[in-house]
Structure 1
Amino acid sequence: MFFFPVSKVFWLIAEPVTVLVLVAGVGVALAFTRWARTGRRLSALAILGLLLILFTPVGVALLRPLENRFPPPPADLPAPTGIIVLGGGLEEAKSEARGQTILSEDGIRLIAALQLARRYPTARLIFTGGAGNFLEQAPAEAIGVRKFWLDLGGPAGRMTFEARSRNTWENALFTRDLVKPQPGETWLLVTSAWHMPRAMGIFRRRGFQVTAYPVAYRTYGDDRDWLPVSASDRISTLDLAIREWIGLLAYRLTHKTNALFPAP
């Protein structure tokens, strides 16, 4: 009951840069007290942490194992029963405010799903995603995705939408209940590569066997990942990686997955 709001509020203060800035602030405040030495140490620790984030590829080093965990299925994969697309590709609140479709950095999930639906003309196309933003009111993401797919010529007769889920655990639960998978069926799971280990672990925990179809890679997977990039890129990459590793740990500790780092 409390997992969803706690998970959303936690990350507002747990982002690495936010934590380091808070630590630095505490250190500066302590510098004017009898604990000045402790304050200097905290400030120095925070500065070292910020330097590590801004000038080393630590974020990429943490993100690449997530993205490489589940490889894409072979090109000659037999036609699946259906294609399940997890929410997170559409900025629903911004889309409503601006009156047009605004995709997130993971919007390729929605494009890849349409490509798969055209490759497999008999497969069902399932989107699962409600309103997952805890702080702002927004319509269910499924509403915007339905319009987006129809505008792009999506197969209306094969599309089904689940609009109640707020996180990956609920994606798996409500989608399983919606499609009622049968033994011998093949279901593709489309989500971002960095999110795939946790998603696969959750679907397995729910007894829903799916085949990973990772998309929306943030890393190259080769030596280019270690080239210099902007500070903002390093921060966003680290935030994403830390968030997902914490998510894997939290879902394991709450028995929402059977493994800390689910594998193929």
Structure 2
Amino acid sequence: MFFLLSKIFWYLVQPLVVVLILAGMGFLALLMRRRRLGLWLSGTALLLLAVMSLSPLGLLMMSPLEERVPRAPLPERVDGIVVLGGALDTRITATRGVPELNDAADRMTAAVALSRQYPDARVLFSGGSAEILFEDISEAVAGRLLLDSLGLPADRLLLEDQSRNTWENAVFSRALAQPQEGEVWLLVTSAYHMPRAIGCFRVAGFDVVPFPVDYQTPSGPAVWRPSTASIRNVEKVHFAIREYIGLLAYWMTGRTDALFPRA
């Protein structure tokens, strides 16, 4: 139930959906001769779209998420590497038969690089299907295709294909990995997602060393300089809002150990 409600809620509060709803309500108000209300709603929608598209709002929202869990020096020995799904487009993979990476590709490339740096470590890829309206393959299927093509030996790969969100990533990964006392496991996911992920893994009882990747924001004064591609600015607002909502919801339901977890 939590999964379904979270999907529906997020669909309705996505930034661009909110803008469209406000604009639609403004248009209806104008048709009903509520001129002042219609202009206010339409103007608010236009203002929100302009701020998200042209300002550094997304960078400023995402930067605290990415800075929360810094990348620590790597340990000398690593027994396992957990890489969370989210970097593969399963619809393209299913229809074209080739694994296709998205903007979070660093999760996969970092996992392969780490597997070569630690040749004795197991690699656990965690990703099911989060689709609720259409049939889709699990991300683990696409992950296997990609990791096989990059030369990762099959006997080192563990595939967790049931998880639909970060909490299930943590619970099902622990059940599959069965980490033993004294083992060192790395957790690979996007930097902005790492606070929620590390909080979930702690509650699930899986002690991991965070290895954030896929940084979306620059450091220093450059964080105030928005992209010249306006859609990139909107995307950052989109993902930052989703992550903050996720942090609040997970904390309220006991899925993380803090509202804003840190390492």
Shorter-chain TM-score tier: over 0.9
Equivalent in 217, 220, 235 of residue 218 of structure 2: 220
Unaligned runs of 5+ in 2: none
Alpha-carbon separation, structure 2, partners of 1:54 and 1:160? 40
Q: CA deviation at 1:133?
A: 2.3
- 2:163 equivalent to 1:170: no
- 2:63 equivalent to 1:64: yes
Counterpart mapping for 1:1-264 below 5 A? 2-33=1-32, 35-75=34-74, 77-229=75-227, 230-264=229-263
Alpha-carbon separation, structure 2, partners of 1:109 and 1:33? 50
Q: CA deviation at 1:104?
A: 1.4
Alpha-carbon separation, structure 1, partners of 2:13 and 2:24? 15
Misfit runs of 4+, over 4 Å: none
User: Which shows bigger deviation, 78-87 or 225-234?
Assistant: 225-234
Q: CA deviation at 1:35?
A: 4.3
Unaligned runs of 5+ in 1: none
3-state SS of 1:189 partner: strand
Q: CA deviation at 1:15?
A: 1.1
Q: TM-score, normalised by structure 1?
A: 0.93
Alpha-carbon separation, structure 1, partners of 2:90 and 2:28? 40
Alpha-carbon separation, structure 2, partners of 1:213 and 1:168? 16
Q: CA deviation at 1:182?
A: 2.2
Alpha-carbon separation, structure 2, partners of 1:96 and 1:108? 21
Q: CA deviation at 1:74?
A: 0.7
Identity of aligned residues (%): 44
Alpha-carbon separation, structure 1, partners of 2:89 and 2:114? 22
Between the two proteins, the alignment pairs up a number of residues equal to 262
Q: CA deviation at 1:34?
A: 6.3
Alpha-carbon separation, structure 1, partners of 2:185 and 2:194? 14
Q: TM-score, normalised by structure 2?
A: 0.94
Contact 2:59–2:226 (CA under 8 A) maintained in structure 1: no
Contact 2:126–2:163 (CA under 8 A) maintained in structure 1: yes
Alpha-carbon separation, structure 2, partners of 1:165 and 1:228? 34
Counterpart code for 1:28: F
Contact 1:140–1:163 (CA under 8 A) maintained in structure 2: yes
CA-based RMSD of the aligned residues comes to 1.6
Counterpart code for 1:49: L
Alpha-carbon separation, structure 2, partners of 1:33 and 1:79? 68
3-state SS of 2:41 partner: helix
Alpha-carbon separation, structure 2, partners of 1:31 and 1:148? 52
Q: CA deviation at 1:226?
A: 2.5
